């Protein structure tokens, strides 16, 4: 390991550390100013006059001229411009410069580690605490930078959320009487449409009920005809039953006669 290379890298590391410390202090002050601007913006938003909410939706439907006289002033309750419009460029520039310095310091620490781990290094054990010290400072710088940057981002997000909510409130309060009348008219039309749909549904239900009643009447008439046919078939069934009974009696007589003849033949043969 060449002593000149080690000294050069250490001087570069100390220079970068000093520069990073200066930039981190400036960035921390910028974060405090940023937070103060956000607080002032929140106070302005809370103190901004709200647009008067006129309940003139009904009167505007009945009297358009009266509704036009109560239109809210568009300038009332106006939300001030974002206080971060000019500071975002400064934030981006400062954070970019600090990130570049941190990257350069990490490269210098890597060069110092490479010099100590080389085969020609004979003082690695003596110089290792210095390398660890530079690494520790780099880690602290990175942690401080991330914390400050996250604080700025949270402050900006919180302020933008407040401004968005305020804009929504003012937009709701600045709704004109004519738009409210249109809303009421749309709701009335929707109610009328729903009423017509219900009437159609009831009419369809009544028609279905009449159709079912007609089917019931036809089924009852069919059952009556079936019962009539059943009464007519009962006489035919009696006649058939008599025929079957007589046929069975003739068969029994014929069987007895045949049996008698067979018995007589057997007796005659003996």
- pLDDT tens digits for range 228-261: 766 666 777 777 888 888 889 888 998 898 888 8
193 to 106, 110, 196: CA distances (angstroms): 72, 76, 5
Q: Which of 32, 14, 42, 261 is nearest to 165 (CA)?
A: 42
What phi and psi, each to the nearest 5 degrees, are found at residue 175? Answer: -65, 130
- pLDDT tens digits for range 179-213: 777 888 888 888 888 888 888 889 888 888 888 88
Q: What's the rounded Cα separation, in Å, for the pair 134 and 104?
A: 13
CB 56 within 8 A of CB 49: no
CB 18 within 8 A of CB 136: no
Q: Which of 146, 145, 109, 144 is nearest to 128 (CA)?
A: 109
pLDDT score for 123: 63
Q: Which of 112, 118, 104 is nearest to 134 (CA)?
A: 112
- pLDDT tens digits for range 159-170: 888 878 777 777
CB 48 within 8 A of CB 80: yes
Q: In percent, how much of the chain has pLDDT > 90?
A: 14
Q: What's the rounded Cα separation, in Å, for the pair 226 and 105?
A: 107
pLDDT score for 51: 45
Q: What's the rounded Cα separation, in Å, for the pair 240 and 233?
A: 11
Please list, in sequence order, all residues whose beta carbon lies within 8 angstroms of the beta carbon of residue 121, skipping any fewer than 6 positions away: 1, 115
Give the 3-state secondary structure of residue 50: coil
pLDDT score for 181: 75
């Amino acid at each position: 390991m060449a002593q000149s290379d080690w000294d050069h890298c250490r001087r570069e590391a100390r220079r970068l550390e000093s520069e990073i410390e200066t930039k981190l202090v400036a960035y921390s002050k910028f974060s405090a100013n940023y937070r103060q601007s956000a607080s002032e913006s929140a106070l302005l938003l809370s103190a901004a006059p709200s647009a008067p909410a006129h309940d003139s939706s009904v009167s505007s439907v009945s009297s358009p001229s009266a509704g036009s006289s109560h239109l809210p002033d568009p300038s009332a309750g106006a939300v001030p411009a974002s206080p971060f419009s000019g500071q975002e460029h400064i934030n981006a520039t400062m954070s970019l410069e600090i990130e570049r310095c941190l990257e350069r310091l990490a490269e210098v620490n890597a060069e110092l580690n490479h010099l100590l781990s080389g085969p020609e290094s004979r003082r690695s054990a003596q110089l290792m605490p210095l390398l660890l010290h530079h690494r520790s400072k780099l880690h602290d710088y990175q942690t401080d930078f991330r914390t400050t940057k996250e604080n700025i981002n949270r402050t900006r997000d919180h302020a933008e959320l407040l401004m968005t909510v305020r804009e929504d409130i003012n937009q709701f309060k600045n709704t004109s009487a004519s738009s409210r009348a249109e809303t009421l008219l749309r709701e009335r039309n929707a109610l009328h449409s729903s009423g017509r749909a219900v009437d159609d549904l009831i009419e369809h239900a009544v028609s279905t009920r009449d159709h079912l009643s007609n089917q019931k009447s036809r089924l009852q008439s069919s059952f009556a005809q079936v019962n009539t046919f059943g009464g007519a078939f009962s006489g035919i069934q009696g006649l058939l039953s008599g025929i079957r009974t007589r046929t069975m009696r003739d068969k029994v007589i014929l069987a007895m006669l045949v049996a008698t003849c067979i018995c007589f033949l057997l007796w005659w043969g003996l």
